[in-house]
C-alpha cells in the first residue's frame, strides 16, 4: 500500500519552503517592475515638457510673463575724471577728460493699481491662461534727491532728463503709454536701446523712454500713468518707489503669489481675487537715488518684485508625477496582498501570474497619464483605478477560484487606490502616511504568516512519525 502520510508530509515540506522562496521572488519582481514604471515616469516628464513648450509658445505670442519696472527718472551729468589713455606709440598716460554718467531717481511715492481680465486659449489638448492687464500708476518725484549723490564737480544736464519704464515684452502693449506730469505735461515714450545699456541684460529690460522738458533743478512734481498690456501666466510689478503701495484685482479664482513680497491683505473667491501690497523704503533694499554703475545698478533694483501667477489647480502632469512617486510602494502592497492570500489558502499563484498582476498596476499609471490629458486628472484617476481594480479582482477570481478571496482582493485594491488618492491630495503629510502604511503592511505580513513553517520542520516530523496504512 502507498504511504499517503509520508507523501502528504513531503508536500507540506515543499509548500512551506516554496512560500519562502515565493516571498523573495515577489520582492525581486517589485524591483524589476521599477523599470517599466521608470519609463512611464519618463513619458510623464516628456508630456509635461511638451505642455510647457506649447504654453510658452502661445504665451509668447500674447506677451508672455510680464514684469513691469519703473518709472525711474534718469539725469545725465558731466564730470571731469582722470583717465588712462594710450597714444599712437602704445605709451600710456593719465589725463583729465570729460565723461557723461547717469543718476537714477526713484519716485518718492508710488501707488500701482492693476486689473487683470483673464481667459483661456486652446491649442490641441492644452489650455493656456492669458490676461489683459490695465495698469494705473500715480506718485511723486523730487529731483532734490539728485544733489545727494551727485559727485563733487559734476554738472547735471537738466535738458537731457528722461523718464524710463520697462516691460518684459513690448509686443504685449495694447496702446500708447499715457504719462502726465503734474496734470499738465504729457510725455511721449519711444522704444530705446539706451535703457538696455543701463540694465544688466537687454533681453530682460525692454525699455521705453521719454524726454522730460523744462525740468528745473530741485523741482518736485506729481505724475500719473496708464498702460494696457497683455501677457500669459504671470504678472509682476517692481517696487520702484521709495514707498510703494499696490492694489490688484482679477477674475482668476486661483492666484499664486510670489516674488520678494507677499500681499499684506488678500481675498480669494470663486469670482476672482483682490490683493494689496505695501513695501516701505527699508524693506525695499534699494536706494532712493544712485549713480548708475557706481555701487548700484538698475539690474540690482529689478529684484524687488512682487507677482501673481495664474495657477491651473488641476495640473494633470503634476498630479500624475506625484502619483508615480508612490507607485513602487503601492505595487509592492498589491503583490504582498496576493502573497498573503496565497499563503493562507490552498491555491498557488505562479510567478508569471504575479508578473501579470504587477504589470496591470503599471498600466494604471499609463492610463492615468493618457486620460488626464482629456478628462481631467481626478476623473482620469477614477476611471483608470476602476478599470485596474476590476481587471485585477477578476483575475484573482480565476486564480483562487473563490469568490470570497476575489472580494477580499477587490476590497484591498479599492482601499489601496483610495489611500494613494489621498496621498496625492495631502502631499505635506505623504511621508507620515506612507511610513505608517509600510509599518502596517509589515505588521500584517508578520501576523498572517506567523503560523507558516518556513523550514518545513513540523511537516518533516509528522511525515516521519505517521504510521503506514
pLDDT digits (tens, 9 = 90+) for 373-420: 888 788 899 999 999 999 999 999 999 888 888 898 999 899 989 988
Q: Taking every pair of C-alpha atoms in the chain, what is the biggest distance, in angstroms? A: 124
Asked if 41 and 133 sit in the same domain, the reply is no
Asked if 103 and 44 sit in the same domain, the reply is no
In a domain, 179, yes or no: yes
Domains contained in the chain, number: 2
User: Which residues, listed in sequence order, are joined to residue 156 by a DSSP beta bridge?
Assistant: 77
Asked if 144 and 232 sit in the same domain, the reply is yes
Question: Mean pLDDT highest for which of 48-62, 77-91, 125-139, 289-303?
Answer: 125-139
Of 277, 310, 343, at which residue does a domain stop?
A: 310
- Tell me the Ramachandran region of residue 87: left when phi exceeds 0, alpha when psi lies from -120 to 50, beta otherwise: beta
Name 372's Cβ contacts closer than 8 Å, sequence gap at least 6.
Answer: 316, 317, 319, 320, 380, 381
Of 286, 310, 334, at which residue does a domain stop?
A: 310
User: Which residues, listed in sequence order, are joined to residue 275 by a DSSP beta bridge?
Assistant: 248, 266
Q: Residue 20 above 50 pLDDT?
A: yes
Q: What share of the chain is helix, strand, coil (3-state, %, to 5)?
A: 45, 30, 25
Range from 91-95, 304-308, 348-352, 415-419 carrying the lowest mean pLDDT: 91-95
φ and ψ at 156, to 5 degrees? -75, 135
Determine how many CB atoms are found less than 10 A away from the CB of residue 370: 15
Asked if 286 and 320 sit in the same domain, the reply is no
Asked if 136 and 74 sit in the same domain, the reply is yes
Q: Residue 96 above 90 pLDDT?
A: no
Domain extent, residue 300, equals 68-310
Q: What angle in degrees, to the nearest 10, is found between the helix axes of 327-343 and 34-62?
A: 150
Three-state secondary-structure class, residue 120: strand
Average pLDDT, integer, range 64-78: 90
Three-state secondary-structure class, residue 226: strand
User: Which residues, listed in sequence order, are joined to residue 167 by a DSSP beta bridge?
Assistant: 206
Expressed in angstroms, the distance from the first to the final Cα of the chain is 7
Average pLDDT, integer, range 330-357: 87
Cis peptide before 68 (omega within 30 of 0): no
Residue 161's CATH number: 2.60.40
pLDDT band, residue 194 (cuts 50/70/90): low
User: Which residues, listed in sequence order, are joined to residue 141 by a DSSP beta bridge?
Assistant: 221
- Tell me the Ramachandran region of residue 218: left when phi exceeds 0, alpha when psi lies from -120 to 50, beta otherwise: left
Asked if 209 and 104 sit in the same domain, the reply is yes
Cell 534718469: give the residue.
74
Asked if 306 and 321 sit in the same domain, the reply is no
Of 284, 310, 336, at which residue does a domain stop?
A: 310
d(CA 377, CA 284): 41
Q: Residue 273 above 90 pLDDT?
A: yes
d(CA 450, CA 244): 70
In a domain, 58, yes or no: no
In a domain, 411, yes or no: yes
Q: Which of the 8 DSSP states describes residue 199?
A: S
Amino acid at each position: 500500500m502507498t504511504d499517503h502520510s509520508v507523501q502528504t508530509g513531503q508536500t507540506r515540506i515543499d509548500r512551506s519552503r516554496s512560500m519562502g522562496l515565493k516571498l523573495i521572488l515577489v520582492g525581486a519582481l517589485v524591483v524589476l517592475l521599477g523599470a517599466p514604471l521608470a519609463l512611464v515616469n519618463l513619458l510623464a516628464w516628456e508630456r509635461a515638457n511638451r505642455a510647457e513648450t506649447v504654453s510658452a509658445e502661445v504665451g509668447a505670442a500674447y506677451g508672455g510673463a510680464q514684469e513691469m519696472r519703473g518709472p525711474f527718472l534718469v539725469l545725465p551729468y558731466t564730470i571731469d575724471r582722470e583717465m588712462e589713455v594710450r597714444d599712437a606709440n602704445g605709451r600710456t598716460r593719465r589725463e583729465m577728460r570729460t565723461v557723461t554718467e547717469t543718476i537714477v531717481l526713484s519716485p518718492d511715492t508710488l501707488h500701482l493699481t492693476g486689473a487683470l481680465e483673464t481667459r483661456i486659449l486652446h491649442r490641441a489638448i492644452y489650455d493656456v491662461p492669458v490676461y489683459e492687464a490695465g495698469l494705473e500708476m500715480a506718485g511723486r518725484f523730487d529731483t532734490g534727491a539728485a544733489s545727494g549723490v551727485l559727485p563733487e564737480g559734476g554738472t547735471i544736464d537738466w535738458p537731457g532728463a528722461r523718464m524710463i519704464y520697462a516691460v518684459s515684452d513690448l509686443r504685449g502693449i495694447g496702446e500708447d503709454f499715457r504719462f502726465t506730469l503734474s496734470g499738465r505735461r504729457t510725455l511721449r515714450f519711444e522704444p530705446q536701446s539706451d535703457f538696455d545699456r543701463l540694465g544688466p541684460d537687454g533681453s530682460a529690460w525692454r525699455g521705453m523712454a521719454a524726454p522730460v522738458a523744462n525740468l528745473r533743478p530741485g523741482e518736485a512734481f506729481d505724475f500719473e500713468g496708464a498702460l494696457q498690456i497683455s501677457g500669459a501666466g504671470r504678472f509682476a510689478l517692481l517696487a520702484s518707489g521709495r514707498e510703494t503701495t499696490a492694489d490688484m484685482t482679477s477674475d482668476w479664482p486661483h492666484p499664486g503669489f510670489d516674488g520678494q513680497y507677499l500681499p499684506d491683505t488678500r481675498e480669494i473667491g470663486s469670482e476672482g481675487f483682490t490683493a494689496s501690497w505695501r513695501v516701505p523704503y527699508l524693506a525695499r533694499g534699494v536706494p532712493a537715488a544712485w549713480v548708475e554703475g557706481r555701487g548700484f545698478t538698475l539690474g540690482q533694483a529689478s529684484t524687488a518684485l512682487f507677482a501673481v501667477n495664474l495657477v491651473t489647480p488641476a495640473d494633470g502632469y503634476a498630479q500624475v508625477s506625484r502619483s508615480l512617486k508612490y507607485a513602487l510602494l503601492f505595487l509592492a502592497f498589491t503583490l504582498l496582498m496576493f502573497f498573503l492570500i496565497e499563503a493562507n489558502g490552498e491555491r498557488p499563484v505562479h510567478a508569471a501570474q504575479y508578473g501579470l498582476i504587477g504589470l496591470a498596476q503599471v498600466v494604471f499609471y499609463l492610463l492615468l497619464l493618457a486620460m488626464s490629458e482629456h478628462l481631467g486628472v481626478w476623473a482620469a484617476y477614477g476611471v483608470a483605478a476602476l478599470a485596474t481594480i476590476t481587471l485585477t479582482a477578476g483575475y484573482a477570481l480565476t486564480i483562487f477560484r473563490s469568490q470570497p478571496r476575489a472580494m477580499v482582493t477587490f476590497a484591498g485594491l479599492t482601499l489601496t487606490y483610495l489611500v494613494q488618492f489621498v496621498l496625492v491630495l495631502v502631499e505635506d503629510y505623504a511621508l507620515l502616511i506612507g511610513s505608517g502604511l509600510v509599518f502596517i503592511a509589515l505588521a500584517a505580513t508578520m501576523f498572517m504568516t506567523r503560523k507558516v513553517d518556513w523550514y518545513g520542520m513540523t511537516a518533516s516530523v509528522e511525515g516521519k512519525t505517521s504510521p503506514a496504512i
